[in-house]
């Protein structure tokens, strides 16, 4: 079932499950800096050592370190997280391979804007590569995505907001969810505005499932 969730519905769900802006953000113990590693010959940052694998791909004007707060929160709930510096599909695939070689059978791909576009390109070429996709403000529609669960997050007033819904509608699978947040922030800029906690909470809930 494909779903379109508005912010009020998302916040209501958080209240129903007993979560709030104060108690639903995992503690990072003040340590948000990732460990520098090399993946596929390129630089990357790693957080955590949990059983679930997550690869982060940043937007064009961002870098791997821009994911620090989100990566630390994801790691805190039991994941090993790698943010690649080079967001080419090949680099993202190399990070997935590293996590799988290290024993992480399931790996989620999370990207913002240009990073989201690189992920959908990779996922359309290798539809069985990842366990699920989480995409912030993808810019283009592609064919060939697999049936893995997909979460699309965008701002309702940004120019590419419709792309998320088009991808959800055109992709196979029974768990393609779209969340449109108020405002016009694009990609990782969502984390700099008033919807930052709502976006992160949605990502954490999805990756915890």
pLDDT tens, 135-188? Answer: 999 999 999 999 999 999 999 999 999 999 999 999 999 999 999 999 999 999
pTM of the model: 0.86
The strands making up 3-6's β-sheet, listed across from edge to edge, are 3-6, 176-181, 150-155, 132-136, 107-112, 52-57, 79-84, 42-47, 35-39
Helix, coil or strand: residue 130: coil
CA separation for the pair 145, 123 (Å, rounded): 6
- Please tell me the least confidently modeled range out of 17-21, 44-48, 77-81, 163-167: 17-21
CA separation for the pair 160, 180 (Å, rounded): 11
């Amino acid at each position: 079932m494909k779903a379109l969730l508005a912010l009020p519905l998302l916040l209501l769900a958080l209240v129903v499950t007993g979560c709030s802006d104060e108690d639903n953000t995992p503690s990072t113990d003040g340590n948000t800096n990732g460990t520098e590693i090399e993946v596929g010959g390129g630089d990357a940052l790693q957080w955590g050592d949990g059983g679930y694998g997550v690869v982060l791909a940043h937007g064009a004007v961002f870098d791997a370190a821009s994911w620090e707060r989100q990566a630390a929160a994801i790691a805190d709930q039991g994941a090993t997280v790698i943010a690649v510096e080079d967001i080419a599909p090949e680099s993202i695939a190399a990070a997935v391979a590293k996590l799988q070689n290290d024993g992480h059978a399931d790996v989620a791909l999370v990207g913002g804007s240009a990073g989201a576009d690189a992920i959908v390109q990779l996922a359309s070429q290798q539809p069985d590569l990842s366990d699920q996709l989480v995409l912030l403000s993808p810019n283009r529609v592609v064919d060939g995505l697999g049936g893995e669960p997909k979460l699309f997050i965008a701002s309702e007033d940004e120019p590419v907001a419709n792309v998320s819904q088009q991808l959800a509608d055109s992709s196979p699978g029974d768990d393609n969810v779209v969340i449109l947040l108020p405002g016009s922030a694009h990609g990782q800029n969502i984390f700099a505005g008033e919807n930052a906690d709502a976006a992160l909470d949605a990502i954490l809930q999805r990756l915890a499932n």
